[in-house]
Amino acid sequence: MLKDKDILDEKNKLLHTKSKDVVFPLEEKDKKMIEDMIEHLRLSQIPEESEKYNLRPGMGLAAIQLGIPKRYFVVVHEYEEGKFKNYVLINPKIVSASSEMIYVEEGEGCLSVNRPTEGIVPRHARITMEGQDMDGKKVSFRAREDLAVAFQHEYDHLDGILFVDKIDKKQPFKNKDKYRAI
């Protein structure tokens, strides 16, 4: 089982490197890591489990956050209380994005950023992402609102970008009136 200490902190330079495409068939260690990522994220979103295992709540994890510079991420979305949908995207690409931009009103968070942050991160309100599943089959997901934000956040990790890099240092709430808060 993954622990919060297994997740790299933003000070680690590896988080600012571009991840490499995954070659199929997927290695067993990557399959196991994906399963561990799913379990960690699901447990972290269940208050009793999060407390029991001392986990910070999280919705997504990219392989690079665990020191693996490969292009894959996992998002575990609680779409209804106690009901989760797992998204595994390997070698993802954004194929379409809405012109409408949004931001998370209470601020984005990241399991690699262990400090309070303020500011807005503009994101597309809706996106379609394509990639591969664990068997190498093509998958396509349409996401909106919080799920779209999570996909874009994790996708950025694969290019070595943290959400804090997208916040204007001098004016953290710059252009706030141009975007819709969610």
Residue 49 is a catalytic residue: no
Please give the order of strands across the beta sheet that includes 72-80: 60-62, 72-80, 83-97, 126-132, 138-144
* Residue 165 to residues 59, 86, 123, 155, 168, Cα–Cα distance (Å): 19, 27, 13, 14, 8
Contact 33, 66 (CB under 8 A): yes
Residue of 39, 100, 118, 154 marked active site: 154
Q: Check residue 81 and report its DSSP letter.
A: T
Tokens of 27: 């290695």
Residue among 20, 59, 30, 61 nearest 159 (CA): 20
Residue among 128, 102, 117 nearest 163 (CA): 117
CB within 8 A of 145, min separation 6: which ones? 102, 125, 182
Active-site residue list? 154
